[in-house]
Structure 1
Amino acid sequence: MNKKPDYLAHAVLLLGMLLFIFPIWVTFAGATQSAGAINRGDISLLPNLSHLGIFVRAFSFGSGLTGSAPVWHMLLVSFGMAMTIAVGKIVISALSAFAIAFFRFPFRMAAFWLIFITLMLPIVVRIIPTYSVMSDLHLINTFPGLTLPLIASATATLLFRQIYLAVPDELVEAAKLDGAGPMRFFWDVLLPVSRANVAALFVIEFVYGWNQYLWPLLITTKGNMDTVVFGIVQMITGDQLIPWNLVMATTILALLPPVIVVVAMQRWFVAGLTEVDK
């Protein structure tokens, strides 16, 4: 017998969707209107389709500060940062979890618990020591300094460890009998087993890297290293009159890459989260 649809649940989901979409829609509609109208508070909820060229103009728009980079350059820096963080976190976490789960070495569990303890430390507690290390290594205002401190992830390491511990011992023994070395076992067996989880982690970490603000604020002082999130904040904190239509257009452009990644990898993302729950 077919169950009746849960209208209350659908209504709550629809309300939640509207609450999330409405600010984005207002930003999109505001981008197509004049800066003067926005400054007066006369924002129409209907976009002016004849002004869609504002999004093309926004690519060359900058914060207006001396040495600031255009939006297209900020987008490239943000994309490079997000990709490096996502791929770096997955590679380092997968390898460290592989070592903890399958190798027997002194202080193995001590290393595991040290990784686990880092989950209890807020990011702000580690900011000053991390900045000091980057300064000593002369990595201020460099791309490695922007990304290297963010590519370690205790959460991803614990996730991969749980996946690896679920691999049957018979599979490990079969790989040994076939003459597979540790790295071949990792590449041919463990990675295919955790493929969906890798995809889910990639989406999460890409969005995490894309939305970074505090670390770029501290580690970079040159305009050519500005991320788009940091650039948007600079655009609205200057002393000059703010061109809100260009700022809103830049905000929409900054939303597109993470949205594209989530939509493109939606199937694997959901599968990865489902497998984690199991």
Structure 2
Amino acid sequence: MVENRPFLTFLTHLVLIAGVVIVVFPVYLAFIASTHGPGQFVSGLVPLLPGPHLVENYSTIWNEGLSSSGAPPIWVMMMNSLLMAVAIAVGKIAISLLSAYAIVYFKFPFRLLAFWIIFITLMLPVEVRIIPTFAVVANLGMLNSYQGLILPLIASATATFLFRQFFLTIPDELMEAARVDGAGPMKFFRDILLPLSRTNIAALFVILFIFGWVQYMWPLLVTSDSRYYTIVMGIKRLAASADSEPLWHLVMAAVILAMLPPVLVVIFMQRLFVKGLVETEK
């Protein structure tokens, strides 16, 4: 039985409200900055109310970008980031599902060794792998291409481990029943394992989409053509304009636009995302 303690309830809500304010206030300031003119924030006075240049600033950064930074319009970079994030998330999930399925349900020599080799890659920092990976991509002629942006990031030891652990919890009776009904390996995978993995797939998709969306170091290494710039690269270039002060109102407009796709993905997949993280019984 939960006791009704008004003071503890008040204190809990107070802490939650304070946490929300701490998290949301910088985002609010970024939005306010994106609605004012170029000289408003250089003066050192930070307004707390929206300004009159909202439509003008967002239209400029969306259609024209910032020519002095060498970055294309924001919509081009957002399309590149969207393609990269979706391809990485879908590719990681597809490869991890098949890898975990093979390790759990197929009997072949050294399958546990193969799993542990995959798992050990989690212990290797990105910095250890990035130079040899770049050399391979360069030798294959995939610099300044979508293949170079996506393929090196498409494998995931974490997702393989999570799907393997989930498949191990599925009763063997399901596999035996499917075999009695004449279902082959792929039919069992498609009709039984995939529906049971729906919430796990949704939770991983959200995490992996955000992982792909916020990539900065790898796109910076493999792209020098502005046609392949991602949104995170673009924001960095906008904030580091050569021979001039950064136009913070346009930079903040780009930041707000860059936040929208991950936020929308989390909102629309919130139920499946939370269910996939907390659900233990299938």
Shorter-chain TM-score tier: over 0.9
Q: What residue number does 1:3 align with?
A: 3
Per-residue deviation, residues 35-86 of structure 1 (Å, max 9, x unmatched): 11112222201112x3220222220242435763211100100000000011
How far, CA to CA, are the matches of 2:35 and 2:135 in structure 1? 44
Per-residue deviation, residues 3-34 of structure 1 (Å, max 9, x unmatched): 32533332222222111101100000011111
How far, CA to CA, are the matches of 1:257 and 1:212 in structure 2? 14
Change (3 A) 1:98 1:46: same
Higher mean C-alpha deviation, range 216-225 or range 1-10: 1-10
How far, CA to CA, are the matches of 2:53 and 2:33 in structure 1? 10
Q: What residue number does 2:278 align with?
A: 274
Residue 265 of structure 1: CA displacement? Answer: 0.4
Contact 2:146 2:228 in 1 (8 A): yes
Higher mean C-alpha deviation, range 163-172 or range 34-43: 34-43
Contact 1:61 1:246 in 2 (8 A): no
Higher mean C-alpha deviation, range 240-249 or range 128-137: 240-249
Change (3 A) 1:277 1:223: farther
Change (3 A) 1:2 1:169: closer
How far, CA to CA, are the matches of 1:230 and 1:169 in structure 2? 48
Q: Give the length in aligned residue pairs.
A: 277
How far, CA to CA, are the matches of 1:241 and 1:180 in structure 2? 66
Q: What residue number does 2:54 align with?
A: 52
How far, CA to CA, are the matches of 1:255 and 1:152 in structure 2? 25
Q: What residue number does 1:130 align with?
A: 133
Counterpart code for 1:137: L
Residue 172 of structure 2, aligned match among 159, 169, 172: 169
Contact 1:141 1:222 in 2 (8 A): yes
Residue 136 of structure 1: CA displacement? Answer: 1.1
Q: Give the SS at the match of 1:199.
A: helix
How far, CA to CA, are the matches of 2:70 and 2:256 in structure 1? 23
Residue 241 of structure 1: CA displacement? Answer: 2.9
Q: What residue number does 1:143 align with?
A: 146
How far, CA to CA, are the matches of 2:280 and 2:208 in structure 1? 16
Q: Give the SS at the match of 1:59.
A: helix
Residue 242 of structure 1: CA displacement? Answer: 1.7
How far, CA to CA, are the matches of 2:203 and 2:105 in structure 1? 23
Residue 82 of structure 2, aligned match among 76, 79, 82: 79
How far, CA to CA, are the matches of 1:214 and 1:140 in structure 2? 14
Q: What residue number does 1:157 align with?
A: 160
Residue 251 of structure 1: CA displacement? Answer: 0.5
Q: Structure 1: which 5+ runs fail to align?
A: none
TM-score by length of 2: 0.94
Q: What residue number does 1:120 align with?
A: 123
Structure 2 residue 244 is the aligned partner of structure 1 residue 244: no
Change (3 A) 1:276 1:43: farther
Q: CA RMSD in A?
A: 1.6
Contact 1:63 1:232 in 2 (8 A): no
Structure 2 residue 269 is the aligned partner of structure 1 residue 265: yes
Residue 41 of structure 1, aligned match among 41, 44, 52: 44
Structure 2 residue 108 is the aligned partner of structure 1 residue 98: no
Q: Give the SS at the match of 2:107.
A: coil
Contact 1:63 1:231 in 2 (8 A): no
TM-score by length of 1: 0.95
Matched-pair identity in %: 53
Q: Give the SS at the match of 2:227.
A: helix
Counterpart code for 2:267: V
How far, CA to CA, are the matches of 1:100 and 1:237 in structure 2? 48
* Map 1:7-18 → 2, pairs under 5 A: 7-18=10-21
Q: Structure 2: which 5+ runs fail to align?
A: none
How far, CA to CA, are the matches of 1:77 and 1:262 in structure 2? 20
Residue 138 of structure 1: CA displacement? Answer: 0.6
Residue 65 of structure 2, aligned match among 51, 62, 65: 62
